Structure 1
Amino acid sequence: MTTNVCVFENWHFAYFRYKARYVMRTFLPQKQHQIPEFDANIAGGTQVGKRTVDISGKMKVLRKLADESENPDGTHSIILQHILPTTIEYIDIVNSVYPVDLVISIVYSNDQPTVDALRAKGYEVIVPNSIEYMKEELWKDVLRVLDGASHPVVFQEVGGYMSKWTKQLSQYEGFKGCVEDTKNGLWRYQEAEKNGDIHLPVLSMADTALKRVEDSLIGDACVYSLEKVLRTQLASILDGLRCGVIGWGNIGKSCATAIEGRNSVVSVYDINPVVNMLGYGRGFYPMPLAQLLAESDVVMGCSGRRSIRTADIHDIKNGALLCSASSKDIEIDLKGFSQLCEIEDITPQGDDLCPIEKYTVKKTGKVFYILKHGTPIDFLDMPLQGAILDCTFSELFVCMRELSKNPHSPGVIELADALQIEVAKLWLPTYVETFSTHEATKDKTFFFPESWYWE
């Protein structure tokens, strides 16, 4: 009887799937093939180290924005970014409007062949030797550039590294302010503002609706890299493992969804009780942190803050893997763990492999593993690509343009809705075929927000 029910359910599902496809083929407009789904040019791509990567011509919306932008007072830029092959075109396009005086690579997402390629183009690129240097010493490198500048400068960064040094930067009359990309960086600037220690405008895109488009895909990038490490270095898979996600914000949600899609059992924890309730409502069983750590084979920190403390070390399951989907090395208390554990580097021999460190608790002999020194695991690969990366870089460019054109008072400012909508109205017809036709240009979405009030 059970078999008959299963057969009926499978037939029932297949029938409705067939009907849905019939309706779509019959009644929805057919593809016009105006926008190719893939536009790869591998044979004629760009050589970056050992790789040939198709990285030119991908930033279509960014190019349109740059072509329409003017720079009447000759503002230059300093860019602090993840230096990956996909960043080259972004820097080139920004440079075409706001000449780039300095490129700073983030230490945990630095691709040396890309650095070499940028230097070959004539850019000055510095690669800090540690996250600590970026927090405490990098501002001096920025001041060095400003010292010799006779033009205005805008600074685009990722991570809030200048948040302690805005007073020093504000001494330069031509310094127009900072653009901040990430939540972690935003929180650092907000903390400075709360303490009355912010002395220049900081335009943030970290909490915008457009940024949430990127956040919704970062989880899959993190889980892709995690799964790649499991398969290629640990001869394992995610299927069937107990996985815990700490921090159920935008990135935590996307990580939990991506892990669940690999047939893992996913539990979540958030310090905010309301967020734990939301996780319950979405089917991700929330549990206390100690229980999550004790039961999870894999733990991914997604909070943007310290999610696993020294006090939690005895709760971690023996043999567990810990990794981060967050910023810097903030999620796991590596410094505290180093006082309590013997640490062994067990990374296999080879190129482009994920660093794996074995931590053995001295008192108990418990063992756990930390991937990529606790820094974001998605930067083992190129986490954002194509259309979504174009959206992110376009939003950053619009922030830079806003700071360049319009004076702002010191403090944290969120990118205005109107400027986000400007990016979206360019992005939709560029990448979504149904919005690329002549008829679609008359759609109300291209007249938003005024069209909200149309009768």
Structure 2
Amino acid sequence: MDNQEMRRLGAYFDDIVSQFPVEHPTASLLVTHLLPERPAFVQAVARMSNLRAVLPKPKSISPDALATVQRATPCDPLSREVFGDPEAALTYLETRAAGMPVVLLDIGGYFAPSLSEICKRFSGQILGVVEDTENGHQRYAELDKLPCPVITVARSPLKDPEDFLVGQSVVFSTEALLRTQGGILVGRKAAVIGFGKLGSSIARLMHAKGVQVTVYDTDPVRSTQALSQGFAVAASLEAALKSADVTICATGAKALGHEDFALLKDGSFVATVTSAEDELDLARLPQTHTLTPVGEHITRCASDDRHFYLCNEGNAVNFLHGASVGPFIFLVQAEILAGLSALSRGDLAPGLHEVAARDRAAIAATWLTHFNNRMS
């Protein structure tokens, strides 16, 4: 970002922070993609709270952004193994924020497996969680009883522009990877697994490129939505996979289990919109397939009777080519800050919550003030 863009972004976050004050002293831990524009958001979090550490998503770290953030805030390794183990998660929290009231700013439900235990045993207080993604939303929603408030921005209307543009990035990057193997999307058959906001965006964009799209979603409501928009809807995962030249997984959960790889069409490509550990069951793949790199970010996975190509080792393909969604990402970041402000009050009951509609409107109005002229 050039100096003018940085000043514009700084002024925007100044306005957001002033509109959503933190009412009581609050510490925070921040899980984030550490992309080039992200230090401004991290600084805004640090202005609103005592930011104890940043936990960068490992597959999306800009070295320059990391160096900038590390000058002011510790950056710690992020893994599902650590935060999936209540003892390890608790030890980490005690190391970074012992005795403090803490808000957990999450991307992907990392704290969900240990949340009940750390809420019970932490020497401070877990004020709540702000979750950014559909994957994380599902992880928290699946808990039998939430021990604290969880504010989710995953299904916010302010996230729609980001989802659309991420969908474009996914389609662009998938085709770029196909081209390295001499293929193109036009005239191909594709299976889109999951017809949420990202999946539906990908399906529409693939169709616009001349791809024959079949959708599979376990939710019958989403299946009817896909059908009403003109897409073929598979009755089973097997039916979706068996004729697809390209499969894009966009469920935010486990899209393909190990046994499902045998259903893939011979020579087909598999890409995802989130990390491999979330969408694909790859643990046993080296035991049943011969894995051979055949190009940058392409792995040939061969069994006795067929093979398929795995894009970017099963991780989100859009990050391979920048994944920039422009200023629209700042809408989502502002809503995360609004969630931090709401949790700092300490008056929300345990359970799932969303940012108030009036606060979303205020964020959108502020965003328009700072970025509309740039977009026009």
Q: Same fold (TM over 0.5)?
A: yes
Tell me which amino acid in the other structure corresponds to 1:290: E
Partner of residue 360 from structure 1, selected from 287, 297, 302? 302
Q: Kindly state the Cα deviation for residue 134 of structure 1 after the two structures are TM-superposed.
A: 4.7
Do residues 141 (structure 1) and 141 (structure 2) align? no
Tell me which amino acid in the other structure corresponds to 1:161: Y
Q: Is the 8 A contact 1:73 1:152 kept in 2?
A: no
1:406-451 Cα shifts (integer Å, max 9, x gaps): 4222222222222222212322343345999xxxxxxxxxxxxxxx
Measured in 1, the distance between the counterparts of 2:38 and 2:90 equals 22
Give the corresponding residue for 1:262: 209
For residues 196-345 of structure 1, the aligned pairs below 5 Å read 196=145, 198-231=146-179, 233-288=180-235, 289-327=237-275, 329-345=277-293
Give the corresponding residue for 2:56: 105
Tell me which amino acid in the other structure corresponds to 1:115: L
Q: Is the 8 A contact 2:275 2:314 kept in 1?
A: no
Q: Is the 8 A contact 1:223 1:255 kept in 2?
A: yes
Partner of residue 74 from structure 2, selected from 106, 124, 133? 124
Q: Is the 8 A contact 1:62 1:393 kept in 2?
A: no
Q: Kindly state the Cα deviation for residue 60 of structure 1 after the two structures are TM-superposed.
A: 5.1
Measured in 1, the distance between the counterparts of 2:154 and 2:258 equals 29
Q: Is the 8 A contact 2:137 2:152 kept in 1?
A: yes
3-state DSSP class of the match of 1:57? helix
Percent identity between the aligned chains?
A: 24
Measured in 1, the distance between the counterparts of 2:176 and 2:80 equals 25
Q: Is the 8 A contact 1:176 1:407 kept in 2?
A: no
TM-score between the two structures when normalised by the length of structure 1? 0.74
Tell me which amino acid in the other structure corresponds to 1:266: V
Q: Kindly state the Cα deviation for residue 93 of structure 1 after the two structures are TM-superposed.
A: 1.9
The answer for unaligned runs of 5 or more in structure 1 is 1-39, 46-53, 349-354, 437-455
Q: Is the 8 A contact 2:185 2:209 kept in 1?
A: yes
Q: Is the 8 A contact 2:8 2:370 kept in 1?
A: no
Give the corresponding residue for 2:132: 181
Q: Which moved more, 1:179-188 or 1:107-116?
A: 107-116
Measured in 2, the distance between the counterparts of 1:63 and 1:383 equals 25
Structure with max Cα Rg: 1
1:300-349 Cα shifts (integer Å, max 9, x gaps): 0011222222332332111111011135532222124333212223344x
Q: Which moved more, 1:424-433 or 1:274-283?
A: 424-433
Give the corresponding residue for 1:169: 118
TM-score between the two structures when normalised by the length of structure 2? 0.89
Tell me which amino acid in the other structure corresponds to 2:76: I
Q: Is the 8 A contact 2:243 2:265 kept in 1?
A: yes
3-state DSSP class of the match of 1:306? coil
Residue-pair matches, total: 371
Q: Is the 8 A contact 1:247 1:268 kept in 2?
A: yes
Tell me which amino acid in the other structure corresponds to 2:58: V
3-state DSSP class of the match of 1:82? strand
The answer for unaligned runs of 5 or more in structure 2 is none
Measured in 2, the distance between the counterparts of 1:279 and 1:310 equals 26
Q: Is the 8 A contact 1:143 1:169 kept in 2?
A: no
Structure scoring higher RCO (CA < 8 A, sep ≥ 6) equals: 2
Change in Cα spacing, 1:367 to 1:68, as seen in structure 2 (3 Å) is same
Q: Is the 8 A contact 1:301 1:323 kept in 2?
A: yes
Give the corresponding residue for 1:380: 320
Give the corresponding residue for 1:12: none
1:35-65 Cα shifts (integer Å, max 9, x gaps): xxxxx73xx69xxxxxxxx656336543311
Tell me which amino acid in the other structure corresponds to 1:220: Q
Do residues 160 (structure 1) and 100 (structure 2) align? no
Q: Which moved more, 1:214-223 or 1:331-340?
A: 331-340
Measured in 1, the distance between the counterparts of 2:152 and 2:188 equals 37
Q: Kindly state the Cα deviation for residue 69 of structure 1 after the two structures are TM-superposed.
A: 4.3
Give the corresponding residue for 1:413: 353
Measured in 2, the distance between the counterparts of 1:190 and 1:282 equals 28
Change in Cα spacing, 1:118 to 1:324, as seen in structure 2 (3 Å) is same
Give the corresponding residue for 1:30: none
3-state DSSP class of the match of 2:185? coil
Measured in 1, the distance between the counterparts of 2:374 and 2:258 equals 52
Q: Kindly state the Cα deviation for residue 381 of structure 1 after the two structures are TM-superposed.
A: 3.3
Tell me which amino acid in the other structure corresponds to 2:367: W
Partner of residue 399 from structure 1, selected from 329, 335, 339? 339
Give the corresponding residue for 1:84: 35
